[in-house]
Amino acid sequence: MKILVTGGAGYIGSIVVEQLIEAGESVVVFDNLYQGHRAAVHPDAIFVEGDLADRAAVDALFDEHRPEAVMHFASHTLVGESMENPFRYLGENVTNGLNLLQSAVRHDVRRFILSSTANLFDDPERIPIDEAERIVPGSPYGESKYILERMLHWLDRIYGFRYAALRYFNAAGASTERGEDHHPETHLIPIVLSVALGRRDKVIIFGDDYPTRDGTCVRDYVHVIDLAQAHILALRALDRGSRVYNLGNGQGFTVKEVVETAREITGHPIPAEVGPRRPGDPATLIAGSDRIRRELGWEPKYPALRDIIESAWKWHQSHPNGYS
């Protein structure tokens, strides 16, 4: 199948592209390289540089490459930034997604996979958080993803769109060739590892007064290769109907536990200092992923935090300057 991957030069997108190609699919990557890296794009993928804000370019992309399915990763993705610059999210994330959906409909493409987020669950009534949990977006970022999920719901009803919305908890880890390289980096694991590499002096822990076992936020870290496999399973199941899945390992680790595990793996003391809370951060996010396990047989290959951090550490050691 020919698959259009927006954001296929970014962290999760590029690793999904790699896994799709290894699974024998053909891939067209569309990316504006705002956060993505040309070097992250698998050499067997067709690469088109462009912006989803440019409707003519998006239409031309569908005209020229005739994809049969779309995976949509291209997005602003930072909870904290969205609390400071809401229109980047409520505006660009939404209108860019809308442009893509309109082009897909116009070109008769009916298969769509959306990168969604655990940031839909700011105030969960039950942990682990399954798909029955009420939706309370935690930030304009989460809201922008929820708006796209709702658009997909209506396109299914009206045009017979078949979609999967995959709500990732905390994507982490790396493949041998591809890993996490954001500018600026805001994510915990790459920041912790950059201290171990001597690129930063210390980690700031954003708040230790949350109602958790050590006062720091609890997150469910899921290996990016396991996320990629979930995309492939979801794509193959689309003809049987649309679906929404929460994706994580079902295990939560505090910020302090992540730092401690990284100390053990790297052998570096990784100094850490407690600072204020970061706006928009919920205390605990742990996924209930029984639905995708049951319906699609998804089984994470790398559920252990140690293996996840180890894979990231190997990548960062072999790419000390990221992709540059």
Q: At what angle do helices 11-22 and 224-237 cross, to 10 degrees?
A: 60
The reply on whether position 74 binds ligand UFG by CB under 6 A is no
DSSP code of residue 276: P
CA distance 111 to 15: 20
Segment near ligand UFG (CB under 6 A); pick from 9-17, 32-40, 181-189, 312-320: 181-189
Question: Which residue of 12, 217, 262, 270 would you call a contact of ligand UFG, by CB under 6 A?
Answer: 217
The reply on whether position 165 binds ligand UFG by CB under 6 A is no
Segment near ligand UFG (CB under 6 A); pick from 25-33, 186-194, 236-244, 315-323: 186-194
The reply on whether position 151 binds ligand UFG by CB under 6 A is no
Q: Per-residue b/e over 98-122, b at no fewer than 16 CB within 10 Å?
A: ebbbebbeebebbbbbbbbbbbbbb
Which CB, 169 or 245, lies closer to ligand UFG?
Answer: 169
DSSP characters over 66-89 = --SEEEE--S---HHHHHH-HHII
* Structural element, H or E, at residue 203: strand 203-206
Confirm if 10 and 35 have CB atoms less than 8 A apart: yes
DSSP code of residue 91: I
Question: Which residue of 165, 255, 262, 287 would you call a contact of ligand UFG, by CB under 6 A?
Answer: 255
Question: Which residue of 109, 165, 203, 309 would you call a contact of ligand UFG, by CB under 6 A?
Answer: 203
Q: Shortest distance, CB of residue 39 to ligand UFG, whole angstroms? A: 22
Any catalytic annotation for residue 221? no
Question: Which residue of 99, 117, 175, 266 would you call a contact of ligand UFG, by CB under 6 A?
Answer: 117
* CA distances in angstroms from 138 to 78, 145, 227, listed in the order given: 11, 11, 22
Q: Shortest distance, CB of residue 300 to ligand UFG, whole angstroms? A: 16
Sheet holding 284-285, edge to edge: 253-254, 218-219, 284-285
CA distance 72 to 1: 16
The reply on whether position 174 binds ligand UFG by CB under 6 A is no
Q: Shortest distance, CB of residue 40 to ligand UFG, whole angstroms? A: 17
In sequence order, the 6+-apart residues with CB closer than 8 A to the CB of 28 are 2, 3, 4, 5, 45, 46, 47, 48, 61, 65, 67
Of residues 43 through 72, those in contact with ligand UFG by CB under 6 A are none
Choice among 11, 34, 89, 141 that is catalytic: 141
Binding-site string for ligand UFG from residue 256 to residue 295, where x marks contact by CB under 6 A and - marks none: ----------------------x--x---x----------
Question: So which residues are the catalytic ones?
Answer: 141
What residues line the site for ligand UFG (CB under 6 A)? Answer: 77, 79, 117-119, 169-170, 186-188, 191, 203-206, 217, 219, 255, 278, 281, 285
